[in-house]
Each structure stands twice: as C-alpha cells, then as structure tokens.
C-alpha cells in the first residue's frame, strides 16, 4: 500500500497546530490567548478528521480488534506513566492539573489530560466494529454510521460533561474523514502523489502520535527552564517551546527504537 503523502503533510500541519495551541496556553499574553482560541476552534476536529480518513485501512482489512487492542494498550500504558509523572512532579512544583492515586482507578472512564483523543478513537473503532458486525447491507450500514455521527454531534450540544462532549462532538469529524476516503476510492482518485517541499512536515505527520503523546512533558520542562533562565520575551519563549515540543519526541523515538523499547508507545 503506497502512502498518501498529502495525508502525512496534513497530519504534520495538524500536529503543529495541536502543539502550538498547547504552547500558547503556557504564556500570560492576551494576543497568544486570542490566537489559541482560534486554533482550538478547529485543530482537534482536523486531527480527528484525518484519523477518520486513515481509518479506511483498518476497515478495509477488518483489523478492528487488533487496532482496538493496540490503542487500548497505548492508552493504559501512557495514562499510567502520565499520572505517575505528575504525582512525582507535584512534590516539587505546582502543576496545572492535580493527580492522585484515585486517578489510577478513574482514567479508564475519565481520561487524563490529552489522552482523551486516544480514548475517543477507541470508542469510534468499537462503534464501527459493531456496525460492521450487525449490519450486512453496505448502504444501510453507511446510513447507520452517518446517523450515529449526526445524532452524537447533536447530543454534544446538550451535555456539560467534558468527556462526553469531546467523544460525541468529534465522532462527526471522524466519520466525515472515513466517508471522504470511501468516496476517493470509489471515484478512483489518485491521492498518492508527492507534494513538493513537504518532506519535513510529512515526517512530523508520520510521527504525529509520538509528538501528541510526549509534547506535554516537553512544554512543562521548557516552561520551567524559561523561568529559571529568566526568558522574558513571550515570542522567544514560544518559539523555543514549540520547536522543543516537536523535536524532542522525535529524538525520544529514535532512542527508543535503538534500545528496542519503542513498542511501549506504538505497540507494533
């Protein structure tokens, strides 16, 4: 299966926006906050939409159970690590979120920090798996999937629960991405052409999961370092934080591949 380079580039742009949005939150700057509000309007819907587009290959090869188990393992391992990290960190500095041992019991239902995305993907896989198993007619199955996505989006407008809102709200974008891929394949569009000048951004897209999982650790560390070294310029601090949050997860990936521990993150 040939990679669709445009998809990797799009994922690269999406993960840059995700990281930038989180970085902007670390600075007490009105202009940064306004930009952050704009980015938050679409950065995760875009990221989930692209995940839905990629989901076509899971559905095509009927690999629902394998991908559910892989994502569940990633969710559990990384959530536990994140909780332990924050509990230890809280002994020395004030953190934006306070975690206790209780979170080890609640995270399967109430995700910690940014891991809500992986939890949502797990739920979406299960929804599509049920549709595949219970509905044999393709047209009816597609209509059911679309109906569930639309109803879920409507439900999100009537809930104050953050977890439920995120899951219900983003299912529509995931389904739209999946349906777009179905349309592309049906119309036999060739989407495998390479985009000039997008090599670096595509590389970020290919490794977007690593960046997504580990960038909060880096932004927290850089924030502490900026304070320790008295970096007062918000723009300079933002650029240092953004570049670090994109680069260090990639370096960690290389180290973990060399040491044979990368499966703790990507499973396969």
Average pLDDT over residues 128-141: 90
Counting every residue written for the chain, the total comes to 268
Q: Are 23 and 219 in contact (CB under 8 A)?
A: yes
Q: What is the per-residue burial (b if ≥16 Cβ within 10 Å, else e) of 22-45?
A: bbbebbeeeebeeebeebbeebbb
The percent of residues in the chain predicted with pLDDT above 70, rounded, is 93
Q: Are 175 and 147 in contact (CB under 8 A)?
A: no
- Whole-structure pTM value: 0.91
Average pLDDT over residues 140-164: 94
Provide the pLDDT for residue 61.
Answer: 82
Q: Band the pLDDT of 187: cuts 50, 70, 90.
A: confident
* Domain range for 197: 5-266
Alpha helices in 158-233 (DSSP H): 162-186, 199-206, 208-228
pLDDT tens track for 93-131 = 666 678 888 999 999 999 998 999 999 999 999 999 999
Structurally, the chain folds into a number of domains equal to 1
Average pLDDT over residues 21-47: 93
Provide the pLDDT for residue 132.
Answer: 87
- DSSP letters for 30-78: HHHHHHHHHHHTTHHHHHHHHHHHHHHHHHHTT-HHHHHHHHHHHHHHH
Mean pLDDT computed over every residue of the chain: 89
Does the pLDDT at position 192 exceed 90? no
The percent of residues in the chain predicted with pLDDT above 90, rounded, is 66
Tokens encoding 56 = 């076509």
Indicate the SS3 state at residue 102. coil
Query: 43-52, 73-82, 257-266 — which is least confidently predicted?
Result: 257-266
């Amino acid at each position: 299966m040939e990679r669709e380079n445009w998809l990797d580039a799009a994922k690269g742009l999406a993960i840059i926006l995700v990281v930038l949005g989180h970085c902007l939150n670390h600075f007490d700057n009105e202009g940064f906050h306004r930009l952050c509000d704009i980015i938050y309007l679409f950065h995760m819907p875009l990221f989930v939409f692209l995940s839905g587009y990629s989901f076509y290959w899971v559905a095509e090869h009927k690999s629902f159970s394998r991908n559910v188990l892989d994502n569940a393992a990633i969710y559990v391992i990384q959530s536990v690590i994140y909780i332990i990290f924050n509990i230890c960190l809280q002994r020395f500095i004030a953190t934006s979120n306070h975690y206790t041992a209780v979170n080890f019991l609640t995270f399967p239902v109430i995700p910690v920090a940014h891991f809500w995305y992986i939890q949502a993907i797990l739920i979406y896989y299960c929804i599509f798996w049920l549709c595949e198993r219970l509905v044999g007619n393709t047209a009816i199955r597609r209509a059911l999937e679309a109906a569930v996505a639309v109803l879920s989006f409507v439900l999100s407008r009537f809930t104050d629960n953050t977890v439920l809102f995120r899951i219900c709200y983003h299912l529509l974008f995931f389904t739209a991405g999946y349906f777009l891929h179905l349309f592309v394949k049906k119309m036999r569009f060739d989407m495998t052409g390479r985009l000039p000048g997008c090599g670096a951004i595509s590389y970020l897209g290919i490794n977007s999961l690593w960046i997504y999982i580990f960038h909060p650790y880096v932004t927290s560390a850089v924030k502490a370092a900026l304070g320790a070294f008295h970096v007062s310029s918000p723009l300079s601090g933002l650029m240092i934080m953004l570049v670090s949050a994109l680069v260090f997860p990639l370096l960690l990936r290389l180290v973990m591949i060399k040491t044979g521990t990368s499966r703790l993150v990507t499973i396969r």
